[in-house]
């Protein structure tokens, strides 16, 4: 039985979709041994993205803010620990109040992350085996998804007070550091990091869950522990 033109078009479209990368996939890769000078740099992109380079750097972390957050706030929170452990920070801004797939689907934020990472990679040298994606709250939830989908790029994923796992097409075997306050009344730990850690371990992934006595916060000592974990 012959197929109609419309059926052929639909079959072709389905085949293209099957072979295309998932929308959460990042294509950029570290590609330079050059490095700009230490300090805080604003990348000239379509949205705000800050690049913080310590005096002596060997690792790199893409750091994602929470809902209604900002790149500036992430640099403020993580800067001193980045200096101590030599971690370059890239802090981009989401298009909306939070990251796209938190409320709908992957789209413009993934494209921007790809562009921001490309701009940062062109300016910084670091050990590609020490490449992390991290975030707080909604940014932690998004970091888990981006990290799971791009485990061929990110070696480490640090999620501070995440909410849930966004379904993605998993790739690679990155290592995970999760932290969560046992008195968090925004994203209660029993419905967030504890089941997330169990689900990740069922995937045979390495997971460290660091619980602390506190609420929906990011204590400096937890950041220090995570950066020490990243630096190995």
> Mean pLDDT, consecutive 10-residue segments, the chain of 232 residues?
39 42 93 84 97 95 98 97 97 98 95 97 94 98 98 98 97 98 98 98 98 98 97 83
The answer to whether 173 touches 151, Cβ cutoff 8 Å, is yes
- CA pseudo-torsion sign 106, 112, 115, 120: negative
* pLDDT computed for residue 126 by the predictor: 93
| pLDDT at res. 157 | 98
Q: Which two tokens stand for residue 95?
A: 């298009």
Predicted confidence at residue 20, as pLDDT, reads 66
> What is the CATH code for 5-231?
3.40.50.1820
| Closest to 200 in 3D by CA, of 130, 152, 147 | 147
Burial 27-61 (b: 16+ CB within 10 A, else e): ebebeeeeeeeeeebebeeeeebbbbbbeebbbbb
pLDDT score of 229? 97
> Closest Cα to residue 81, out of 63, 94, 93, 96?
63
The confidence score (pLDDT) of residue 35 equals: 77
- Look at residue 135 and give its three-state secondary structure: strand
- Whole-model pTM: value is 0.90
Taking a C-beta distance cutoff of 8 angstroms, is the pair 186, 166 a contact? no
> Which pLDDT score is estimated for 3?
42
Cβ burial, residue 140 (10 Å; 0-12/13-18/19+): buried
Q: What is the pLDDT of residue 73?
A: 97
Query: How far apart (Å, rounded) are the C-alpha atoms in residues 123 and 167?
Result: 32
- In the prediction, which pLDDT does 200 show? 98
What pLDDT, on a 0 to 100 scale, did the predictor assign at position 10? Answer: 38
């Amino acid at each position: 039985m012959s197929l109609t033109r419309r059926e052929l078009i639909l079959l072709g479209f389905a085949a293209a979709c099957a072979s295309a990368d998932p929308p959460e996939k990042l294509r950029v890769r570290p590609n330079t041994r050059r490095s700009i000078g230490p300090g805080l740099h604003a990348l000239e992109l379509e949205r705000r993205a800050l690049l913080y380079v310590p005096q002596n750097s060997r690792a790199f972390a893409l750091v994602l803010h929470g809902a209604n957050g900002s790149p500036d706030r992430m640099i403020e929170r993580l800067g001193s620990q980045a200096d101590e452990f030599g971690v370059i920070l890239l802090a981009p801004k989401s298009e909306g109040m939070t990251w796209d797939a938190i409320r709908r689907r992957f789209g413009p934020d993934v494209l921007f992350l790809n562009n921001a990472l490309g701009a940062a990679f062109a300016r910084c040298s670091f050990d590609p085996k020490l490449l992390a994606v991290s975030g707080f709250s909604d940014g932690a939830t998004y970091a888990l998804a981006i990290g799971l989908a791009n485990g061929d790029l990110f070696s480490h994923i640090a999620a501070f007070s995440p909410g849930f796992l966004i379904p993605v097409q998993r790739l690679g075997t990155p290592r995970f550091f999760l932290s969560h306050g046992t008195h968090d009344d925004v994203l209660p730990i029993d419905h967030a990091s504890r089941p997330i850690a169990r689900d990740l371990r069922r995937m045979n992934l390495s997971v460290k869950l660091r619980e602390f006595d506190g609420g929906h916060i990011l204590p400096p000592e937890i950041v220090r522990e995570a950066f020490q974990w990243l630096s190995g």
